[in-house]
Amino acid sequence: MTVITRFAPSPTGTLHVGNIRTALHNWMWARAHGGRFLLRIDDTDAERSEERFVDAIRADLAWLGLHPDAEERQSARTARYEEVFEELRGAGHIYPAYETAQELDLKRKILRGRGLPPLYDRAALALSDAERAALEAQGVRPHWRFRLDHATPIEWTDLIRGPQQFDAATMSDPVIRRADGSWLYMLPSAIDDRDMGVTHVVRGEDHVTNTALQLQMFAAMGATPPAFAHEALLTGAEGKLSKRLGSLGVDALRDEGIEPAAIVSLLARLGTSQPVEPMLDPGPLLDAFDFAHFGRAPARFDERELAQVNARVIHQMPFDAVADRLPAGMDAAVWEAIRPNLETVAGAADWWQVIEGPVDAPAVGEDATYVAQAAEVARTIDWAGDPWHALTNALKEATGRKGKPLFLPLRRALTGRDHGPDMAALLPLIGRERAIARLDSNSRA
């Protein structure tokens, strides 16, 4: 069996962290099993769907490296939905209902007031042909419900949650089509999964009830349902669902300097007991990907952890992977020197300024004489070899300084910073003339 997964976003907005995680895990499951990953644009909601969001979804997936093997559009499949709808209607699985939204809301309020679950009472099934005809003659257009089979228990073994069981009698017959003829999510999704040969559906645990309903739709169509994996929802660092997660999209992450590999590395293992490891190549993540590793506890997403993973990803990135994003003139030697101190690639520009100058160094105060002495020593050492150790060894012998008093005034005078890349790597990049000029300037400050 060829594994086929799908990511099915609605183009009513851009992708956020939760969507990205769902897309990633569907892609990973397909790739880990040599299967196919489909992108299905669920654009049946014509009023809210926008083409700009379709383009954004494609672009975001491409940026993350999640390239689908094929793309489908629900808006192009309405004739197919109509065909299956008529088949199911003819078989008695679908029926018209005429209550208005206000009437349904009143029924629910009454039931709640009695301490009962707000289930639909199937009143529409009791209408006679004459009563239905009379309602339609008055201009009342029906919405359509799928009739659940109360005699058959709903059971499946979830790849994450384990054995699941629902009683259809405790559930309302779901509305599958509005009075204006437009489709709701449930039936078209099940039709698509059947027609496209989807073998595994990976989605959030908020869809568990939908799965129970859709299993009966698969049965009504005479189709074998896919396997399901319902993942625990993401929570924010504060331990509860966060509105921030709903707005934190690819654009925001990209603007913050987050690398695709960092997002993939973190989200691939969020919710598992496996350690999060920064990986430029997703291959090892695919090799170890298994829904058996996922727990049912909420998965905690921490932007600080993502930033840390991002820095560790950048520390592995070769020059060729970032060259087009670096300041003009920066070469591989500079990148190798500054890379261990970067949190984002954009931060390279700050260190390029440190190398090229000018540098606004803090006053050295009581170390002015020492810095002046360093300038004189810098004029005499061999800059072709290892100028930093030549400079500090000579100053150590001449002054008796060691440790922080030996190194820190020099770093401050040469870079304007207290911390940064290894000075043995940085000083040759600053070069003799600039280094001496900075030491001279600082000794007079």
Annotated binding site for ATP: 243
Per-position b or e across 123-146, b if 16+ CB within 10 A of its CB: ebeebeeeebeebeeeeeebbbbb
User: Smallest Cα–Cα separation from 272: which of 3, 4, 28, 9?
Assistant: 28
Per-position b or e across 14-37, b if 16+ CB within 10 A of its CB: bbbbbbbbbbbbbbbbbbbbebbb
Say how far apart CA 246 and CA 241 lie, in whole Å: 9
Annotated binding-site positions: 243
Give the DSSP H/E element, type plus range, for residue 203: strand 200-204
Q: Could you give the C-alpha distances from 411 to 16, 338, 364, 379, 402, in angstroms and in order?
A: 42, 15, 11, 17, 14
Tokens of 310: 């991002």
Q: Could you give the C-alpha distances from 41 to 82, 99, 188, 271, in angstroms and in order?
A: 18, 31, 12, 27
* 438 within 8 A of 399, measured Cβ to Cβ: no
Tokens of 93: 């699985």
User: Smallest Cα–Cα separation from 380: which of 365, 397, 364?
Assistant: 397
User: Smallest Cα–Cα separation from 95: which of 67, 118, 117, 123?
Assistant: 123
Strand partners, 249: 16
